[in-house]
Structure 1
C-alpha cells in the first residue's frame, strides 16, 4: 500500500473490526490479505486521528465503531497509556483512542509485515504524530525515529518510484527540523531538491516595497528552476482552499513591485515541488538567527508557494508561517490576526473533503489545530486584546498563557482560582505544577513530584525553574539534573543548567550541560562560548579552542568571540589558526577580522605571544615553526598602528618584530628606530608617567632599546650627516628622560634616586655617554 493512498477509513474500520478483535496479534501474519487488513485499519485510525487534531473537519465526539464501544468513557486511561518519558499528551487532544489503536497496529505491522515495505513508513508517521501531541520531546520516540530513518537510508528506497523517495526525504527533513537537527535535515532537503530536479536561488532585483517609494531599491526574490519530463500541471479548484488575505496598508504594498515584470514570477509547480520549496524555507529559517533580515529571506519562498495554490495542507502551512512573520511588523500584524482567524475557520469548514486536506500533510510542517488557534491568541496579545486571547487560552487549556494573561490584567489571583477548580475535578501533575507557578508555592511542585511517584520530569522542571528565576542557581541544579535524567531532550533545560553551573563554578557539570545543549542546538554561539569557558577552567584548552571555532561559525560578527579565540588559540599554540582561520576569514586573519568588528581593538598579551612565537620560531601545535608567519604579522601590525597610534606596547612589539628579520638592511634598521621613537613618545605622553615606578622602568627599557637601535643604524648610514642626525635625536630623548627621572625620583633628604630605578638609570647614563662619544668622533676632523 502506498503511504499517501487515501483509504475509506470508516468503511475499513467497520469491515475489519471483527478481524481486529480476533486477530490483531494472533493472526497468521504470513497471509498477505490479513497483513493488508491490519495495516489498513492502522492507517485508517491514524488518518482519523490526524483529521480530528490537524486537518478537520471535526469528527463526532463518539465514533460509531462497534469494536471501540467497550472502551467508551475510558479516555483518561487511554491518554495515560500515551504518556512517554514522563511527558503527557496535550489535554485538548481529541480521540486519543485512535492514536493508541494506530500505535498498536502499526508497530505490530512494522515488526512483522515484511511483505509490505511501507508498513515501517506508516509506523514512522505514527511515531512523529505522537511526538507532536506530547508536551516535550520524547527520547524514546526520538531514538525510534532515528533508527527508522537510518534503516531506510541504509537499504534501498522504501518505495522505488522517485516521487515516493522525494516524499521520504521531505518527511525525514521535517522530523530532523522538529528536533532542530539542521545538519541532518539539510542533507535530506538537498536530496529532495536533486531528486525533484529543482534549483532554488535567492537573488536581488530592483523594486519598490511601499506605495510612495520613488527610487528602485534591491529586493530579495527566489529564482526557481525545475526540470521534469511532463510539464502538465493538473488544475486545482482553489475556492475551498484557505484564503490568502491581501495586505491593506496605506504605505506598504501587498507585494513587491519589481522594475522588471518577469522578476518575482514563479513557474507552475506540482504540489510535491511546492513541498520541496516549503522544506527549503523551514531549513533556512531553522539555520539562522531570528531577526528582521532573516525574515526577509523567508518571504520570497512563501510568495512562491502562495502564488499558485495547489494543496490545502501546503497552503495552510505557508499562510501560518507568514502569520508568524507578519506578527513582528507593525504594518502587518493586523493582517496576521485576520489571516490566523481564516486558518482556524478553514479547519472546521465542511469543504474540502478530508482526503483533499490529507494530501501532502506529512510534508507540510502544519502544526496541530490547537497551535493554530494559539497563534491567533498570541496575535490578540500583540494587538492588546488580552481578554480575547484569554478566552482562547482557557478553551485550549494553555494554563501557562492563562497565568500570563491574568498577570497582564493584574488579576493573577484569578489564575490560581481557575487552576484550583481544575484540581478539584482531578489532581494531575501538570495542574499542581501550574498552581505552583501561579502562587509561587514550592510545596506544589513537591506535591506534583509525589503524585507522579517520582517519575515526572515536568515536576522537577517547574521546581528548577522556580529557583532559577530567583537566581537561586545552586538550589536549581539538583532539580534540573533530575528532570533531565528522566527526559534528556529538554533543550532549554540543558541551557539553563549550564548557566546555573557557570554561575556556581561547577565546571564539570557546566561543560556536560553545554555540550549536551550544543548537540541538540548547534546554532547558539553563547552556548559554545560558555562551553569553551568551562573547558578553559577545567584545563582542557584544546577542547575550548574547538568549541570557540563552532561559536564563531554561529556568530561571525561578535568581537568578543574573536577575542576569546585569540586568547585560547595562543595558549594552544594555534599560531597559524589565530593568524589565519582561513575557512572562516577567507584569507584574512582573526585579529584583522576583530579590527573590522571593533575598531582600535588592542590585546597586547596576544600580540606579545605572537611576536615571541615568530621571533623565536617556536613550534605550533602541529609542530610547524611560527617564523613563517612574520610577513602576515607585520601586515597586521601595520594595520593596527594605523588605527592605534599612541600605544607604547604595540609600537615596541612592532619594533621587535621588525628587528628580528634576518636581513639587517638600512630600511629595516631605520623602521626599527622609528617604531621605538614612537613607542617612547607614547610612553611619556602622560605627564604623570614619571610618578609611577612601573612606567619609569618601561620608559627606560624602551630608551635603552632605542639607543642600541640608533647605534646599529649609524653603522649602516651612507653619510656622517645622516648618522649625526640619528644620534642627535637619540641624545635629546635620552637627556629628557634622564632629567625627568632625576627631578621626580630623587629623595630630597638623601639626594639619591629610588633604588628600584637606580640600576637602569645608570645604564641610561652610560648609553648617553656612548652616544656623546660617537657624536664627537663623527664631528672631529679625520
Structure 2
C-alpha cells in the first residue's frame, strides 16, 4: 500500500507540474535518498534529462521541457512492481500509461497487457456504479488517444449507462438571436444524474479514486473565467421559451430545458468525453460537430469543478474557432485558459480530482493550440514566439517557411545540432551570435528528430540526414524510417522504400499514413499480399479513409490473377490518389471471392468518399460482376450526377445500362408467369424487383441531364417490356432526333456519315411500322413520311446522285402506298 500510495503521489506531482498547476514546490531529487558520494554527482538537470530519455518510446521522443519528468518515471517503476493485495494497482498503471501517451510526440501503442489487466476490475466494481463508470470512461479515453474514435465512443456510452446518467439530444422552442421574433426549435441536451447519497460507502471509495458526489452549486467556486460573447446579434446562450421538449417518450422528458438540474461532475466528464472528436463528421463514430454545442453548453451552465470546467471551456473554444461571430471569443478564451494554469486560485486536490476522467491537454499542448490558432488568424509572429518558448522547432520552421524565409529555419536547426543554441529565448531572429559554444544536451530521440527536420528542409542532402538520424537513434527512430521511406517512394524507388516503411510501421504501427505509403509501394512492385495487409491496417486504424478502402478493393481485384492481365493496369494502381479506374482493365479472370471482397471494400469506402466519381465507377463495375445490380444502378446515378456537366453523355456506361435493362426484361411482365414468382418479385437484382431502380435511373437521373440515341433505345426497350406503347414511340423518336440523321444539317458532305444516317432513317421507319399501330391516337404514317421528307430535303443537294438515294426514294414510295 505504501508503494502504491507513493506511486500515486509521484504521478500526481507530475500531473500538477504539467497539466493542472499550480507550479510544483518540490523537486524530484528531494524525494529520493542519495548516498553522500552520489549526491554531488547527480544534478536536477541530469536527473530530468535521464528521465526524458527513458520516457522516449517506440521511436517517439518525450517532450523535453516537461517539468519533473523523473516523477513519472518513479511512478512507472513503482506501478510495475508486483501487487498481490491491491486490486487497483493495475488501474493506476493504466492511468500512468495514459499520461505517458500525452508526453510523446506521436501516439504509440504501449502494451495490450495494460488494458487487459484492468478488465477483471469490472466484475469487482459492478456494485459501485461510479467507479465502474470511471474505469470504462478512462479506457475510452485511452482508445481516443490511439485514434480509435469508434471504440472510444462505445466506451463512453457504456460509462454513461454504468453511472446511471440519463441524457437525450432533442429540440425545444427557443431563441438564439437578440432580434428573433418567432420561437424556433433549438437543439438542447436534456440530462439528469442519478440520485446519490453523500453518506454512502461508495462515495468514500469514489472520492479516493478520483470522483466524488456532486457538490452543491456555488457561484463563488473558484473556476476558470467564462468569457462573454458580446455579440451584436447572438445571445450569450439559447433562451428556451418552452418548459418541455419535443420528446414524448423519454426518461428525461420531465426536465425543463431552461432550468436543468446540475449534473454530477463524473457525468459532466462523460458528456465532455462524447465531444472530444471535434472534427468528426460520421454519426457512427459518435457526435458530429454540429451536435456537440448543446453537450458542452450543458456542462458550462453548472461549473462544479476546476478541471471539468476548464475542459468544457476548451471544447467550446474549439467548436467556436471556425465561426466568424465566435472566433474572437474562442481565441481569447483559449488565452485565458493558458494564463490561469499557474495561478493557485483553487485547491490542488480539486484540480486533480477528475483529471483522469478528462482528456485535458498539457500546458505545452494548450499553448501550442493557442499558437496554431494565431497561425490560422495570420498572427505568425505571435505564434512563432510561443513555439520558440516551447522549443517546438518544427513548428518554428513552419512559421519561417510561411514567411518565405526557409534559410532562417535551416539556421535554427543547424544551431541546435551544433550546440550554438542554448536557451529557448536566444532565437536566430535576433541575429546575435551566442557567447557560449557549450553543446546543448540533446537526447538521442530529439537529436534524430532534428536531423529529420533538417532533411525536410534540405532536399539535396535529405538522404544523408535521414540516415544519420537513423544511426544516431540506435535504429529506433520511427520518424527517420518514415522519412526515408517517403524519400524513396517520391523518387519511384519502391523496392528500396518498402524495407524502410516496414521498419517504420514495426516501430509505431498507429500511423495510418505510413501504412498507406507502404501499401502503395507494394502495389507498384505487385506484391499484392503485402499491399492487402498494409491497406487493411490503414482501414483498421481509420475506417473513414476512403482512399485506403478503394486501394484495398483494387488489390483484391489483382490478387490471384494471371500476370499477363496485371501489367496493363498495375501502373495505374497505388498512386496514392484513390483514383484507380477499372474500366481500363478486364475483370473476367478475377476470382469471384475476390470480387466480393472488393465490392464490400468499395461499399464501405464510398461512405466516406461520396463525391469520388472514380470510386463510384469501380463500384459500379464490381457490382455488375457480383450480381448486385441495384447497387450498380445507384453507382451509375452517382457518376451521372457528378460528371454530366463536364463530359455529357459519356458519363453513362451504356454497357451497364443495357445489362440492367436486360436483367429486367428477361423476366415475364406478369410475375405470376415466372418459374419462381415470389423470388422474382422480391429480388432487387432482377425482374420486377429491379424495375423501380432502373426506371428511376433512366427517368429521374440520366434523361433529365444527358441524352443519346443509345440511351433512348435502352429506355424504349424497357418501355416495350412494360407495353407502354405511346411512350415507346416517343422514346424511339427522341433517340432518332439525337442521332446523326436527326441532327444532320443542310450542306453535309461526309458520304460515310450520310449513308449511316440513311440506315437510321430506315430503322426509325421500321420501328414506327411496328409500334405505331399500337400507340393510341398516333398517326405513325404521317410521322414517318415527315421524317423521310425532311431528311431528303436537307441532303438532296449533295447526295441526290448517290446510289443510296434510291433507298430513300423507295422508302418514300412505300409510305405513300401504305396510306
Alpha-carbon distance in structure 1 between the residues aligned to 2:177 and 2:485: 48
Alpha-carbon distance in structure 2 between the residues aligned to 1:105 and 1:701: 91
Deviation at 1:765, TM superposition (A): 6.5
1:731-746 matched pairs, under 5 angstroms: 731-734=785-788
Alpha-carbon distance in structure 1 between the residues aligned to 2:601 and 2:392: 38
1:101-500 matched pairs, under 5 angstroms: 101-109=74-82, 112-113=83-84, 115-141=85-111, 143-148=112-117, 151-152=119-120, 156-158=123-125, 160-205=127-172, 207-212=174-179, 219-228=186-195, 233-235=214-216, 239-260=221-242, 263=257, 265-282=259-276, 285-286=279-280, 288=282, 295-423=289-417, 424=419, 425-426=440-441, 428-440=447-459, 441-442=461-462, 443-465=464-486, 479-497=500-518
**Kept after mapping to 2: 8 A contact 1:429/1:459:** yes
Deviation at 1:465, TM superposition (A): 4.9
**Kept after mapping to 2: 8 A contact 1:205/1:219:** yes
- Paired position in structure 2 for 1:609: 659
Deviation at 1:495, TM superposition (A): 4.0
Equivalent of 2:626, from 572, 593, 601? 572
- Paired position in structure 1 for 2:30: 64
**Kept after mapping to 2: 8 A contact 1:474/1:504:** yes
- Between 128-137 and 526-535, the greater mean CA deviation after superposition: 526-535
- Do structure 1's residue 91 and structure 2's residue 47 form an aligned pair? no
- Paired position in structure 2 for 1:27: none
The one-character-per-residue Cα deviations of 1:605-634 (angstroms, maximum 9, x if unpaired) are 3322312333346999x9997223134323
Superposed CA RMSD: 4.0
In structure 2, the CA distance between the partners of 1:100 and 1:281, relative to structure 1 (3 Å rule), is: same
**Kept after mapping to 2: 8 A contact 1:731/1:772:** no
Alpha-carbon distance in structure 2 between the residues aligned to 1:145 and 1:52: 25
Alpha-carbon distance in structure 1 between the residues aligned to 2:289 and 2:709: 46
1:553-702 matched pairs, under 5 angstroms: 553-556=607-610, 561-579=615-633, 589=634, 602-605=651-654, 606-616=656-666, 626-628=686-688, 629-640=690-701, 643-644=704-705, 646-661=707-722, 665=723, 668-684=724-740, 685-687=742-744
Alpha-carbon distance in structure 2 between the residues aligned to 1:624 and 1:247: 54
In structure 2, the CA distance between the partners of 1:360 and 1:729, relative to structure 1 (3 Å rule), is: same
Alpha-carbon distance in structure 2 between the residues aligned to 1:400 and 1:192: 38
**Kept after mapping to 2: 8 A contact 1:336/1:379:** no
In structure 2, the CA distance between the partners of 1:504 and 1:266, relative to structure 1 (3 Å rule), is: farther
Question: SS where residue 138 of structure 1 aligns?
Answer: coil
Question: SS where residue 30 of structure 2 aligns?
Answer: coil
In structure 2, the CA distance between the partners of 1:314 and 1:624, relative to structure 1 (3 Å rule), is: closer
Deviation at 1:705, TM superposition (A): 5.2
In structure 2, the CA distance between the partners of 1:125 and 1:556, relative to structure 1 (3 Å rule), is: same
TM-score, L = length of structure 2: 0.75
- Paired position in structure 1 for 2:5: 40
Equivalent of 2:544, from 506, 523, 526? 523
**Kept after mapping to 1: 8 A contact 2:221/2:304:** no
**Kept after mapping to 2: 8 A contact 1:679/1:702:** no
Alpha-carbon distance in structure 2 between the residues aligned to 1:239 and 1:345: 18
Extract unaligned runs of 5+ from structure 2. 199-212, 244-255, 420-439, 560-589, 669-678
Question: SS where residue 395 of structure 2 aligns?
Answer: helix
Alpha-carbon distance in structure 2 between the residues aligned to 1:645 and 1:421: 63
Alpha-carbon distance in structure 1 between the residues aligned to 2:470 and 2:392: 21
Deviation at 1:561, TM superposition (A): 4.8
Alpha-carbon distance in structure 1 between the residues aligned to 2:749 and 2:392: 68
The one-character-per-residue Cα deviations of 1:128-185 (angstroms, maximum 9, x if unpaired) are 22122112222343x3455346x449x6255631111111221122122222223322
**Kept after mapping to 1: 8 A contact 2:191/2:263:** no
In structure 2, the CA distance between the partners of 1:514 and 1:752, relative to structure 1 (3 Å rule), is: farther
- How many residue pairs end up in the alignment? 703
In structure 2, the CA distance between the partners of 1:645 and 1:340, relative to structure 1 (3 Å rule), is: closer
Question: SS where residue 139 of structure 1 aligns?
Answer: coil
Extract unaligned runs of 5+ from structure 1. 1-35, 580-588, 754-760
The one-character-per-residue Cα deviations of 1:621-657 (angstroms, maximum 9, x if unpaired) are x999722313432343222465136432221110112
- Paired position in structure 1 for 2:48: 75
In structure 2, the CA distance between the partners of 1:715 and 1:772, relative to structure 1 (3 Å rule), is: farther
Alpha-carbon distance in structure 2 between the residues aligned to 1:104 and 1:472: 44
TM-score, L = length of structure 1: 0.79
Deviation at 1:281, TM superposition (A): 1.9
In structure 2, the CA distance between the partners of 1:343 and 1:515, relative to structure 1 (3 Å rule), is: same
**Kept after mapping to 2: 8 A contact 1:498/1:511:** yes
